[in-house]
Chains A and B, each alone.
Chain A
C-alpha cells in the first residue's frame, strides 16, 4: 500500500481536490517558493552573482536528473500527472529546492574570515528532508515505500546534493585565468 493512500485518511477532502473543490497544492507550493526566495534575499551572501548562477545550474541539473530517475525509471517517488499538481511540482523543482540548497551551500562557504555556518546548513539539510515529507503529505509527490526508508534516503539524497554542489562551487571559485584550479589557501584568512 502506498503512503498516499494512508494520507487520504488524514487529509480533509478539499486538500485532494475532489468534486471540483479547491486544491491546496498549488497555493502551498507557491507559498513555499515565495518563502524560500524571501529567505534567500534577506540572508547575507558569501558567494558572488556568478557563483550563484553556476550553483543554480549545477543544482538544477543534479536535482532534475535524480528526480526523473526516481519517478520515471525506479517509480520510487512518483508525481500525479494532473495539471495542478504538475504545476506545483514544477514550482518546487525550479524554485524552492534549488534555492534552499543554494542557501545551504552559501552558508558552508569560507569568506573574509567568516567560518562555515555548519549548524544553519545542517538545519537546512534536515529541513529539506522534512519539506520532502510535507510534499508527500499534501500529495504533491507520492512515496512508494515506508516512511523510515524514505526519511533515510531523502537525507542521503540532500546530503549528496549539498556536498556535490559545495565541491563544484569550491572548484568554480578557485578557477584562475589559466583555467586550472588554484590552492584554496588564499581564501582562508
Chain B
C-alpha cells in the first residue's frame, strides 16, 4: 500500500493552471488548419493522453510513486483533466512534424527540441504545484523520458500514416 500525501486542499494555482492549459490547448487544436484526417487527428491527440496515463499511473506509481499530480497522491478528477493537457502537446508535435516536412534523418534534432520544450513546460507546471516529486525523482529524469516517448511518437507517426494509406 502506498503512502498517501495531501499537498493542499483548495482550488488554487494548480487547478486554474490545468483548466487554463486544457482550454487553451483545445482552442489551439480546434483552430489550427487541418492537416490530417479526423481519425488520424483523434489518434494523435489520444497519443499524448495515453502516454500520460501510462507513465503517471503505471510506471510512476508501481513499485514506487516517483511523483504525485495536483493536490493529493490519490486519483482525483482534476488529475484526469491534467492528463488532457498532454493531448494538445502530442497533436502539436505531430502537426509541426508534418508541417515542417522534417526528414527522418533530422528527426533526432526535432525530438531534442521538443524534449527541451516539454521539460520547460513541466518545470512551469511544477512551479504551479501540478507535480510533486518523491524518492529522488528530478526533472532530469523527465527529460530522458520525454526523449524516449517522443522518439516513439515519431515512429508512430510513420506507422499510422502508412496504416491510413493502406485502408
Question: Residues of A with Cβ closer than 8 Å to B?
Answer: 48-50, 53-54, 56-58, 60-61, 64-65, 67-69, 71-73, 75, 78-79, 81-83, 85-86, 89-90, 93-94, 172, 175-177, 179
Mark contacts of B28-43 with chain A using CB atoms, 8 A cut-off: 1 yes-contact digit, 0 otherwise.
0000000001111011
Does B111 lie at the interface of the complex (its beta carbon under 8 Å from any beta carbon of A)?
no
Decide if the interface of chain B is mainly helix, strand, loop or mixed: helix
**How distant is B8 from chain A, measured CB to nearest CB, in Å?**
18
Closest 3 CB pairs of A and B: A86-B63, A49-B163, A64-B57
Known: A72-B2, A81-B2, A81-B63. A177 touches B163 (CB 8 A): no
Complex CA–CA separation, A78 to B78 (angstroms): 23
Complex CA–CA separation, A82 to B59 (angstroms): 13
Contact check, B43 vs A86: say whether CB atoms are below 8 A apart.
no
Complex CA–CA separation, A75 to B75 (angstroms): 12
Contact check, B163 vs A48: say whether CB atoms are below 8 A apart.
yes
Contact check, A57 vs B47: say whether CB atoms are below 8 A apart.
yes
Known: A49-B167, A57-B50, A73-B74. A172 touches B42 (CB 8 A): yes
Give chain B residues whose Cβ lies under 8 Å from the Cβ of A57: 43, 46-47, 49-50
Known: A60-B50, A65-B80. A82 touches B38 (CB 8 A): no
Question: Residues of B with Cβ closer than 8 Å to A?
Answer: 1-2, 4, 37-40, 42-43, 46-47, 49-50, 53-54, 57-59, 61-64, 73-75, 80, 83, 160, 163-164, 166-167
B45: nearest chain-A partner, CB-CB: A57
Query: Which of A50, A69, A82, A85 sits near B75, CB closer than 8 Å?
Result: A69
**How distant is A72 from chain B, measured CB to nearest CB, in Å?**
5
Complex CA–CA separation, A60 to B73 (angstroms): 20
Complex CA–CA separation, A53 to B46 (angstroms): 10
**How distant is A165 from chain B, measured CB to nearest CB, in Å?**
13
Additional 6 contacts, C-beta under 8 A, given A57-B50, A172-B39: A60-B53, A65-B80, A68-B57, A72-B74, A81-B62, A81-B64
Give chain B residues whose Cβ lies under 8 Å from the Cβ of A93: 58
**How distant is A9 from chain B, measured CB to nearest CB, in Å?**
22
Give chain A residues whose Cβ lies under 8 Å from the Cβ of B54: 60, 64, 94
Query: Which of A50, A64, A82, A94 sits near B63, CB closer than 8 Å?
Result: A82
Max chain B Cβ within 10 angstroms of own Cβ: one of A50, A67, A73, A81: A50
Complex CA–CA separation, A146 to B4 (angstroms): 25
Complex CA–CA separation, A73 to B4 (angstroms): 9
Query: Which of B2, B53, B74 sits near A65, CB closer than 8 Å?
Result: B53
Contact check, A48 vs B62: say whether CB atoms are below 8 A apart.
no
Complex CA–CA separation, A79 to B63 (angstroms): 9
